[in-house]
Amino acid sequence: MSTIGFIGLGIMGAPMAGHLAAAGYQVAGYDVAPAGLDRLVASGGTKAASIADAVREADVVITMLPNHPQVEAVVLGEDGVLQHAKPGALLIDMSTIRPESSQAIARAGAERGIRVLDAPVSGGEAGAAEAVLSIMVGGEEADFVAAQPIFGNLGKTIVHVGPYGAGQVVKAANQLLVAGIIALNAEALVLLEASGLDGRKGMEVLAGGLAGSTVLNRKIDNFANRDFTPGFRIDLHDKDMSIAESAARSAGVGLPVTGQVAQLVAAAKSSGLGGYDHSGLLALIEGVNGKGQS
């Protein structure tokens, strides 16, 4: 599977497609924005003029898009992936979307002889750039095995977690954990600084103990410097928390802490912080306490 059509060359997709091109795959990328296309070309890939142009000769099609409406339009639309991909191609959706959308895409793909995996990722912009993403994959075992060489160029933790849609359920669990950890780290920093302590030093100590986490290691500079340049935007995390709450309802379970954190993320978005990195929950918590960025 040496020819890849890659659709969605944003903050995550562009470095991912670049890694595949650098690894020797023939990667044809498509995006409505030119910046990602230029990054792909610089990595050895080629620009496609349309979805059809990207996928027509591809052995593998990868989509990396913001939400289920975009994925459904690109894959299921009148001029979409399933209309133009060749029979036997493998479609890997690496977006974070609703499990039911992934399942519907898998059913539609099967009707056209196209294999499908849902393979959302965790690790953010840094993880994509460093090719150390965690990849949680739903679909058939044989298709997962076939995709392993591709995944190996994108991540370090790669697990087949179950049938179609299972990858999205695991990603929902991931996102509720990340949001909760960010929120508590932000509250810890507010407490440290309100007590007259050096916040960074305090957070460094926390990072080295049981309270430490990948989230804190990745975001400590964002917290300490109040640098909320987006690596993963609050508005996208708000979407993901909605997916987590919906998945909980589908599973028939109550997740009270998830509900509280989801409301916090929603409040940050409605307060105009949607374009911030999700570490920008700190700005909301500081605002509640009458301080922080203007």
pLDDT at residue 20, rounded to an integer: 98
Count the neighbouring beta carbons within 10 Å of the beta carbon of residue 274.
18
Residue-range domain boundaries for the chain: 3-163, 169-288
As assigned by CATH, the class of the 169-288 domain is mainly alpha
pLDDT digits (tens, 9 = 90+) for 39-67: 999 999 999 999 999 999 999 999 999 99
pLDDT at residue 294, rounded to an integer: 44
Query: Alpha-carbon distance 102 to 96, whole Å?
Result: 9
Annotated catalytic residue: which of 86, 171, 219, 291? Answer: 171
The per-residue pLDDT string of the chain (294 residues; one tens digit each, 9 = 90 and over) reads: 699 999 999 999 999 999 999 999 999 999 998 899 999 999 999 999 999 999 999 999 999 999 999 999 999 999 999 999 999 999 999 999 999 999 999 999 999 999 999 999 999 899 999 999 999 999 999 999 999 999 999 999 999 999 999 999 999 999 999 999 999 999 999 999 999 999 999 999 999 999 999 999 999 999 999 999 998 999 999 999 999 999 999 999 999 999 999 999 999 999 999 999 999 999 999 999 998 654
In the block, residue with structure tokens 């009270």: 256
> Which pTM value belongs to this model?
0.93
pLDDT digits (tens, 9 = 90+) for 156-177: 999 999 999 999 999 999 999 9
Residue 206's φ and ψ, nearest 5 degrees, are -60, -40
Q: What is the fold, at CATH topology level, of the domain defined by 3-163?
A: Rossmann fold (3.40.50)
Give the gyration radius of the chain's Cα atoms. 20
Query: Alpha-carbon distance 246 to 175, whole Å?
Result: 13
Is 47 a catalytic site residue? no
pLDDT at residue 291, rounded to an integer: 84
Query: Alpha-carbon distance 79 to 190, whole Å?
Result: 50
